[in-house]
């Protein structure tokens, strides 16, 4: 296995955890798009988790593309 496979697996697990800990609302309907909020501003920890999720998603996609070409 190449290093890209390990990076892909690690970033996949981290990204899954980060996505699951992000909260949109208190109920299941809010999580499925039924919340009344159209525009939200991320602040504090929520903003940090969102930015970290974007970075990990980019790392995951790059490791997949580089792993295929090597």
Domain boundaries, given as residue ranges, for the chain:
1-19+45-70
Amino acid 22: pLDDT: 84
Amino acid 43: pLDDT: 78
Amino acid 55: pLDDT: 94
Amino acid 36: pLDDT: 55
Residues in the chain with pLDDT < 50? 26-29
Give, in order, the Cα–Cα distances in Å from 32 to each of 9, 45, 63, 67.
Answer: 27, 22, 30, 33
| 14 in Cβ contact with 56 (< 8 Å) | yes
Amino acid 27: pLDDT: 46
Q: Taking Cα atoms as reference points, which of 22, 20, 16 lies closest to residue 46?
A: 22
């Amino acid at each position: 296995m190449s290093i890209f496979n390990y990076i892909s697996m690690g970033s996949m697990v981290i990204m899954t955890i980060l996505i699951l800990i992000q909260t949109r609302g208190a109920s299941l309907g809010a999580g499925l798009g039924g919340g009344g909020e159209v525009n939200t501003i991320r602040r504090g920890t929520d903003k940090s988790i969102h930015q970290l999720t974007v970075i990990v998603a980019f790392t995951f996609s790059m490791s997949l593309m580089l792993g295929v070409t090597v």
